[in-house]
Amino acid sequence: MTIVRPQAIERPLIELDQVSRTFKVPDGTITAVDSLSLAIGSSEAICIVGESGCGKTTTGRMLAGILRPTSGRLRYEGQDVWAKKGHELSAFRRAVQLVHQDPYASLNPTRTVFQTLAAPIYRHKKAKGGRDATNRVRHLLEVVGLAPPDDFLVKYPHQLSGGQRQRVAIARALTVDPRVIVADEAVSMVDVSIRISLLNLLLGLRSEMGVSIVLITHDLAVARYFAREGRIGVMYLGRMVELAHSEALVSDPAHPYSAALIAAIPEADPRITRSKDRVELRTAEVPSLLALPAGCAFHPRCPLAEPGLCDVDVPALLPLPGTAGREVACHVAIRERQPAAELLA
Amino acid sequence: MTPILSVRDLSIDYRTRRGPVHAVRDVSFDIAKGETVAVIGESGSGKTTLAISLIRLSPRSAKIVKGQILYTGASGTTDIRTLPEDELRAFRWSECAMVFQAALNSFNPVINIWEQFVDTARAHGMKDPKIVHARAEELLDLVRLDPKRVLRAYPHELSGGTKQRVLIALSLLLKPQLIILDEPTTALDILTQRSIIDLLAQLKTALGFSMIFISHDLSIAAELADRMITMYAGIVVERAAVTDLFYRPRHPYSVGLLRAVPRVSGVIGAVASIPGSPPDLIRLPPGCTYVPRCPLAVAACSEREPDLVPVDTPDHDARCIRWRTVAEQVGTAEVAVVEKIVV
């Protein structure tokens, strides 16, 4: 079977190939991410969404090379990252930057904005001398919308708002000229009123500097806005269950779990939100990662589940027949050649 | 009909070393029996300060400097602000219950759920364990939990959604007429959040209590509220029925909040963040405090703080001298603001 992929990722910049990651916990071993593959192209804006415990943060940390997969490969420009050493490895570490969720915790409270941004510039020899470094810091502050920059150079994190801190954290990621930024819930902790401007800032880095951005979020509305020209991947209990173009995913979800999520989201529109069609799940209980059900992990809750099929084999993420570049891990949707949203209607 | 709660000219300051923070200023609103009112605004708008002051749980640094909180129950109307300590304790839980933002940590971790019910009941004079048990079972049934399993469980054994359901059940123990909810679904996953929203809607219909909802999440307000209050920098800037606020807002800040939220259904539309940040509540600027962030501000806006004036209908008030310009921009159609504004 030939796999249809969007053009941008025929030659991926960064790629997870069948990666799994397990963690030892007091009661046993959990598989936080299981056999996940994801190829990301240059200057792509992609979102990974899912509820807590789905493995989205672990996936982001593996992409950023912070967490080593238990099995599978992380490739950057076609080369196995964990086989790299020395200069090659540090080049990868500069190329892929992680922006954390909590701007209150990720900035050193005893350092001014200038000190925070100048340190990596000096360490990675991105400037020739002090004046050049200062100019570079000023430029970065302008790029992230902290203008005029001289107002911010000598500020400490506690003198900044949550949104401003997150902009400093993004500026810090930019000091080393990255090609990929992994932003884990980067807008969740800032006030609703300023989230869009932060998302626009990240999107601007993509269009103006060609940086690929992987936004990890639990909020599908944020994902849709951010990836409106790109793809969204939906994770459930360690697996990618759907990967599709953002508009296709929100208007016609192919996996029953995506369909349930989209139906459940309240909307800031009383008429729409009070008349939304619901997807009734068979149970509200989420299985424990310590005791995942056999077959498809979603089958105990899934309204489309078929005994003898869904509780036996784990469905692979496969192209949905008749669609362009949509992939879904659902036996029923693949067999019926239809998105789950239509099968549930 | 007399409203169950009538807040009149309420002002609250926090004492700080820099001087008093005017967190809530001259806030007035009514809540009718069975009605749900949502208070929206950014962090720092004063909505949480307002909510906790209604049951006098404010921290010591907070001081109600003026106003009344009039509650009308079976025994007549009382001002919560002047209620003696023992009567206040009776008022909390039995007349008015509160479900907090950090709900998931509201339990005593070393006692099981049954003992949490017993503790609360005993503190309010319900001493017969048989009656408490029957009531706990009835309430847990009501929030769709299995009483046999849940009553024996310790808080850490329950998921976030289950804990939130138990807390809602517990808050209903003494049949309160008014429930204050501060960000009740914020820490929950989407599917759990949906089940809590549906549960609150059902309980409200079944039991007929009133609710005050504090949320930065407009979508939950859109689901549950009958009426809306927008707060900015400690004051009420708009008051309207839920459909009027969502489809026909008349204050530029309400418009700004509505445009700041991306959607999953429909067109993406003219979403945009509000520029700038809220003002320093110690040194408030003269005139309308929204001026530095407002796209419609003119010189007259900075001269004096505008009054809350009726717009469109008698039940819809806005504190903006340019509300007619806002009305021209967003019109009257029952369509979300992000779809109507052209950029």
Which of A191, A220, A250 minimises the CB distance to B216? Answer: A191
Burial class (CB in 10 A: 0-12, 13-18, 19+), A35: middle
Assign A102 a pLDDT band (cuts: 50, 70, 90). Answer: confident
Cβ(B13)–Cβ(B33) under 8 Å? no
Length of chain B equals 343
pLDDT of residue B105: 72
Residue A85 one-letter amino acid? K
CA B81 to CA A152: how far, in whole Å? Answer: 44
pLDDT of residue B234: 96
ipTM: 0.89
- Across the interface, whether the CB atoms of A52 and B189 are under 8 A apart is answered yes
CA B249 to CA B272: how far, in whole Å? Answer: 16
Q: Is the pLDDT of residue A3 over 80?
A: no
Average pLDDT over residues A28-40: 95
Query: Taking CA atoms, what residue in A is nearest to B269?
Result: A225
| Residues A111/A115/A121/A123 CA torsion (nearest 10 deg) | -60
CA A143 to CA A123: how far, in whole Å? Answer: 21
Q: Is the pLDDT of residue A8 over 70?
A: no
Which of B194, B242, B260 minimises the CB distance to A270? Answer: B242
Cβ(A282)–Cβ(A302) under 8 Å? yes
How close, in Å, is residue A339 to chain B by CA atoms? Answer: 17
Q: Which tens digits make up the pLDDT trace of B284-306?
A: 889 999 999 999 999 999 999 99
pLDDT of residue A187: 84
pLDDT of residue B293: 95
Mutate to test the interface with B, among A101, A165, A237, A269 (most CBs of B within 10 A): A269
**For each of chain B's 343 residues, which pLDDT tens digit applies?**
789 999 999 999 999 998 999 999 999 999 999 999 999 999 889 998 999 999 998 889 999 999 999 999 888 999 999 999 988 988 888 899 988 765 567 788 899 999 999 998 888 888 888 999 999 999 998 888 889 889 999 988 887 778 888 888 888 998 899 999 988 877 778 888 888 899 899 999 999 999 999 988 899 999 999 999 999 999 999 999 999 999 999 999 999 999 999 999 888 999 999 998 889 899 988 999 999 999 999 999 999 999 999 999 999 999 999 999 999 999 999 999 999 887 6
CA B26 to CA B7: how far, in whole Å? Answer: 9
Percent of chain A with pLDDT over 90: 79
pLDDT of residue A186: 84
pTM of the model: 0.91
pLDDT of residue A127: 86
Helices B190-207 + B160-171 axis angle, to 10: 20
| Residues A144/A40/A313/A33 CA torsion (nearest 10 deg) | -50
How many CA atoms are closer than 13 Å to the CA of B250, on its beta-carbon side? 29
pLDDT of residue B103: 58
Cβ(B131)–Cβ(B138) under 8 Å? no
pLDDT of residue B236: 97
- Across the interface, whether the CB atoms of A193 and B191 are under 8 A apart is answered no
Query: Taking CA atoms, what residue in A is nearest to B260?
Result: A193
CA B264 to CA B272: how far, in whole Å? Answer: 15
Q: Which tens digits make up the pLDDT trace of A260-284?
A: 999 999 999 999 999 888 898 988 7
Q: Kindly report the backbone phi and psi dihedral angles of residue A38, in degrees, each rounded to the nearest multiple of 5, phi listed first.
A: -155, 125
